[in-house]
Amino acid sequence: MHVETFFDPATATFTHVVVDVKTKKCAIIDSVMDYDQDAARVSTKSADRVIEYIRSNGFSNEWILETHIHADHITAAFYLKQHVGGKTAMGTGIREVLKLWVPKFDTSEDTPITGEQFDRLFEDNEEFMIGELKVRVWHTPGHTPACSSYLIEDAIFVGDTMFAPHIGTARCDFPGGSAKNMYNTIQRIYSLPDETRIFLCHDYPKDGAEPMYCITVGQEKRENVMIRPQTTLEEYRTKREARDASLSVPKLLYPSIQTNMRLGDFGVKSKNGLQYIRIPVNII
C-alpha cells in the first residue's frame, strides 16, 4: 500500500489516495471541492490535483470513499466520479443523517433519504477490496451518526474522529453527535496495535509549520489532550462538552451538509436554470 496525501489549506482538509502498488488500483478518501462562500463560486483545483496524480501514474480508481457527511468542506465525489470513475461509498449511518437533515433543507426532490445516491453503503465490519488490498469498515460514531473509518493493513483512516494530540477528538455537539459514542469509538481505535498509523482528515498548523496528516495509535494514547486509555467516560464527557460549548458553527456547515448528502452535487436547477444553496433559519 502507498498513501498519497493532499492538503487543502482553505479548509485544512486532507484527501488521501490509497494505492495498491501491485495492481495500480486506488481509492480516494475525503475529497475536496473548492467553494468560495462569499462569492458563491465553485472551482475544482483541489480535485484536479488528485485527478492529475491518478492519471499521470496510470492508476485505476475503484472507490470514492467518505468518512462522514462533512460540515466544513464540500466533497468532490460527484466531480471525481465523472473524471476518474469509482464507486461512491460510506457507512450505513448516512441514512440517519439523511432522515434528520433532508427535511430541514426541504430537498427531498433531489436528495433521497434511502442513501441510494451512493453506490455502496457499508455495514460495520464489512470488507471490500482496493485491488488486492483488503479494507475493513469500522463504524465510528460520535462526531456524527454516519462516521466510518477504513482499516487497511497497518493503517486506519479516521475522518474527523481523531485529530493531532494537541487538539484531541472531533466535536460531538452536532445533531446526532454523542460524547458517549465517541468515547466508545476511541476505545475501539486504541485497541489497535500501537504502531498502527492513523491518517487524519484535518490539521490546523501554525504559520510555517507542516500539517500533521499521520500519527500512530501509540502516540495518541500517550499524548492526546482529550482522551487517553486511563480517561473515564465522565472525564471525557466533561472535557468534550466544555470544549464544544466554546466552539462556533463551522463556516461552511449549511453549504457542506446539504451538498455532501448529494455527493457534492448542487442539486436540481430552478426554473430559471440556476442552482441554489438553502440556508434554513434558526434550526441549530
Q: pLDDT tens-digit profile of 107-139?
A: 999 999 999 999 999 999 999 999 999 999 999
Contacts of 1 (CB under 8 A, 6+ apart): 18, 19, 20, 21, 133, 152, 153, 155
Closest CA to 118 of 155, 78, 148, 89: 89
Q: Is the pLDDT of residue 206 over 90?
A: no
How far, rounded to the nearest angstrom, does the alpha carbon of residue 199 sit from its chain's CA centroid? 11
Q: How far is CA 222 from CA 33, 51, 168, 227, in A?
A: 35, 37, 12, 9
Identify the band that residue 283 occupies on the pLDDT scale cut at 50, 70 and 90.
confident
Q: Is the pLDDT of residue 45 over 90?
A: yes
Fold of 2-260: Metallo-beta-lactamase; Chain A (3.60.15)
Q: Is the pLDDT of residue 5 over 90?
A: yes
Closest CA to 244 of 174, 182, 171, 183: 171
Q: Is the pLDDT of residue 39 over 90?
A: yes
Burial (CB count <10 Å: 0-12, 13-18, 19+), residue 123: exposed
Identify the pLDDT of residue 208. Answer: 80
Can you give the residue ranges of every domain in the chain?
2-260
> Would you give the end-to-end CA distance of the chain in angstroms?
42
Q: What is the tens place of the pLDDT at every residue in 145-183?
A: 999 999 999 999 999 999 999 999 999 999 899 999 999
Closest CA to 59 of 50, 47, 69: 50
The whole-chain average pLDDT of the chain stands at 97
Q: Is the pLDDT of residue 257 over 90?
A: yes
- The whole-model pTM stands at 0.96
Measured CA to CA, the distance from residue 32 to residue 232 in angstroms comes to 35
Identify the band that residue 20 occupies on the pLDDT scale cut at 50, 70 and 90.
very high
Residue listed under C-alpha cell 480508481: 61
